[in-house]
């Protein structure tokens, strides 16, 4: 594995970790709102969930960019 490959793998590992954080927060927030069952709790859960969705989209964009860069190195370099 080249230095570039290691760097790309490390970056993807960080991005996957970053992806799991808002997914877990999103799931927990929605589950809590469902248990509370009140209208205000649901509104807060929706607002918080939209914020987490923005984070997820940002991470996905970073992952797409990383993939584009890796593919520019040549398909034979992807392992």
- pLDDT-based confidence at residue 4 (cuts at 50, 70, 90): low
Predicted confidence at residue 78, as pLDDT, reads: 47
Backbone torsion region of residue 6, taken as left when φ is above 0, otherwise alpha when ψ lies between -120 and 50, otherwise beta: alpha
CA dist., res. 17 & res. 13, Å (int): 6
Q: Per DSSP, which regions of 4-79 are E strands?
A: none
Question: Quick check: pTM over 0.75?
Answer: no
Confidence of residue 75 (pLDDT cuts 50, 70, 90): low
Task: Answer yes or no: is pLDDT of 47 > 60.
Answer: yes
pLDDT more than 70, % of the chain: 89
């Amino acid at each position: 594995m080249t230095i570039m490959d290691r760097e790309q793998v490390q970056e993807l590992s960080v991005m996957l970790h970053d992806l799991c954080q808002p997914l877990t927060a999103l799931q927990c927030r929605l589950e809590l709102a469902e248990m509370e069952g009140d209208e205000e709790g649901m509104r807060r859960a929706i607002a918080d969930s939209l914020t987490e969705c923005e984070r997820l989209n940002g991470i996905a964009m970073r992952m797409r960019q990383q993939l584009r860069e890796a593919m520019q190195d040549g398909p034979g370099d992807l392992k």
